[in-house]
Amino acid sequence: MSILYLLIPLSLILVGIALTLFIWAVKNEQFEDLDGPAHSILYDDDVHRIPPEAQVKKPAANNKPTDKDETHHG
């Protein structure tokens, strides 16, 4: 029973800290842009960080396959 004298004030202090942090976040507009970070992962803005030897080379659009490129199994 005497533990309640410790736990009740401790829980009230924790609730007060949580409420203070929530009010601070609302006042500093931390909840204004909820979709921005979710959509930002779709953008390729980190291409400059990939080393050139690791980048995938895209084939040219006007290249036509030749007989040497095709493999026939049979």
Interval 20-71: pLDDT, tens: 999 999 999 888 877 777 777 777 666 677 677 766 666 666 666 665 555 5
Q: Please give the pLDDT value at position 55.
A: 67
List, in order, residues 6 or more apart from 55 with CB less than 8 Å away.
Answer: 47
What pLDDT, on the 0 to 100 scale, is given for residue 34?
76
pLDDT in the model for residue 46: 65
Look at residue 71 and tell me if it is in a domain: no
Indicate the number of domains in the chain: 1
**Structure pTM?**
0.47
Confidence check: pLDDT of 72 > 90: no
CA angle 68, 70, 74 (to 5 degrees): 115
pLDDT at position 69:
54
Residue with tokens 């040219």: 60
30 in a structural domain: yes
List the domain range (segments joined by +) for residue 45.
11-54
